[in-house]
Structure 1
Amino acid sequence: MTSLVRAGAFALLLATAAVPAAYAQTEAPAAESMFRATTLNLAAYGETRVAPDMATITLGVQVEAPSAQEAMQQNARRMTQVIAALKKAGIAERDIQTSNLNLSPQYVYEQNTPPRLSGYQASNQVTIRVTDLARLGQAVDATVNAGANQIHGISFGLKDPTAAENAAREAAVKALAAKADLYARATGHRIQRLVSLSEGGGYSAPPPMPVMAMARMDKAESTPVSGGELTVRVDVNGLYELAR
């Protein structure tokens, strides 16, 4: 009876040990077949052009005064007028954000003498988001007339880039498939299957374009603003398996 038990246990041990070996034998050919396959690793991109529907612009007030307190007070008064002008021009409060606030001493440098304090400079800048581009020029004009004397840059963008990105994705995949088909035919192969596909890039807002500071202007004048078009680009990478 003891011999039968030992024999059964030994047979079970052999069967258990055989499972990993059999599994390895079935997996190895599959892995090796991928290494033996002829593959193409390609990259392509797709682009779409679309008109922007929003813009951001940074503007502000910079003043100088003999004392720090006076510089800040003058700046605060003028900046309050600028923000009021923005709101009157139709810019919502949530679209107005302080982006820089600075107070710094100003010195006069003369040869062979220590620097002499001449006063203080205070600056306050806000970045505004304009969702109605027809109001952008009027908003800029209103701020300058209200006392803004700094305009640092403007950039255009999209409120929702999803549709433009999807169009660029479709163009990228078509370009990738065409390139893969060309390589396959040129090498005497055909596309067996797409093994993997990855995406890179996508919509990103262009960097701000510099805008020169403007002096106070007459109400009859208006700042022309043109949004042009934005290019939305998506890059893709694909791995194809080829066959004869």
Structure 2
Amino acid sequence: MRFSAILLLLLAAASPVAAQDRMQVPPPGLPSLPADGPMRFMLHRSAAMPAMLTITASADVARAPDQLRMTAGVLTAAATAAEAMAANATRMNAVLAALKAAGVADRDVQTTGLSLNPQYRYEPNQSPILTGYQARNSISLRTMKLGDAGKLIDVAIKAGANEVQGPEFTLANSDAALDGARTAAVAKARARAELYANAAGLKVKRIASISEGAGAPEPGPRPMMRMAMAEAGAAPPVQPGELSLSAQVTISFELEGQP
């Protein structure tokens, strides 16, 4: 009996504290809420916030390339480093002279790599044996004469280049072409927002934010080169095709109205 009385006293003393802990204090400036105050407060805040809709849209445009890029290189091997470099320089000078004679300006040619590496032979249970040296020199070139692609490849190989990559067709000013894709992507996002808003019984009020995603020109099918063309004496057929440029935008729209 004594234990029960003490327990009842403890519960009576604790009950005001527990009741106080369950009370919800409204934010400053708002009137006191009844027992279901927290739920009404959340509804009040939700009603005050505008409905938002975020759309991500992308668009593509096709443009004909106006610039050609390719890489030509010379790889030589010799017993000594000096001999490898000398042979490489002779052949590369011949390649540069041939390209210049073909109409490529000096400002459109750039050295992209120059290296000299020792070559070893490896045998079981023996130290590596030096067998000679390899020298490599690579250049990149550009031209606006897309029709010269096959001819330039043929000229470089006949002059001594034994490593050729490309051609790669690009745009000299891709930003101007991308503007068309950006405009189309924004229009697509806007139309889609109107569609969703109308379906929900709302209207698009304004654009709250807009951001752009990654977009870049994508080359069409790469042309294939026949490396035997120098021996056959014919330039390879090369078609520039088209480039596809893509732009992506993410737009947040503020909606209005009652669904």
* Bin of the TM-score, shorter chain as denominator length: 0.7 to 0.9
Count of residue correspondences = 213
Deviation at 1:198, TM superposition (A): 2.2
Determine what percentage of the aligned residue pairs are the same residue: 42
Q: 1:135-186: CA deviations, max 9, x gaps?
A: 1111110010000000134322101224321211121111101110111122
The one-letter code matched in structure 2 to 1:108 is R
SS at match of 2:213: strand
Q: Which residue of 1 aligns with 2:33?
A: none
Aligned to 2:105: 92
1:61 alignment partner in structure 2: 74
- Pairwise CA distance, 1:90: 1.1
User: Deviation of residue 213 (structure 1)?
Assistant: 8.3
Which whole-Å CA distance do the structure 2 matches of 1:34 and 1:179 have between them?
25
**Residues 190, 216 of structure 1: CA spacing in aligned structure 2 closer, same or farther, 3 A cutoff?**
closer
Q: TM-score, normalised by structure 2?
A: 0.75
1:173 aligns with 2:186: yes
Alignment of 1:148 onto 2:161 = yes
Q: Contact 2:81–2:116 (CA<8 Å) still a contact in 1?
A: yes
Q: Compute the RMSD of aligned alpha carbons.
A: 2.4
What runs of 5+ residues in structure 2 fail to find an aligned partner? 1-44
**SS of residue in 1 equivalent to 2:230:** coil
Q: Which amino acid aligns with 1:80?
A: N
Secondary structure of 2:179's partner? helix
Contact 1:154–1:208 (8 Å) recurs in 2: no
1:125-144 equivalences under 5 Å are 125-144=138-157
Deviations 1:33-91 (A, max 9, x none): 99610011111112101111112111110010011000000000000000011111111
Q: 1:196 is matched by which residue type in structure 2?
A: S
Is 1:182 the counterpart of 2:195? The answer is: yes
- CA separation of 1:208/1:239 partners in 2, compared to 1, >3 Å: closer, same or farther? same
Where do 1:1-244 residues align within 5 Å? 36-204=49-217, 214=227, 217-218=230-231, 220-244=233-257
After TM superposition, give the deviation of residue 197 of structure 1 in Å. Answer: 2.1
Contact 1:145 1:216 in 2 (8 A): no
Measured in 2, the distance between the counterparts of 1:172 and 1:136 equals 34
Change (3 A) 1:228 1:103: same
TM-score if structure 1 supplies the norm length? 0.80
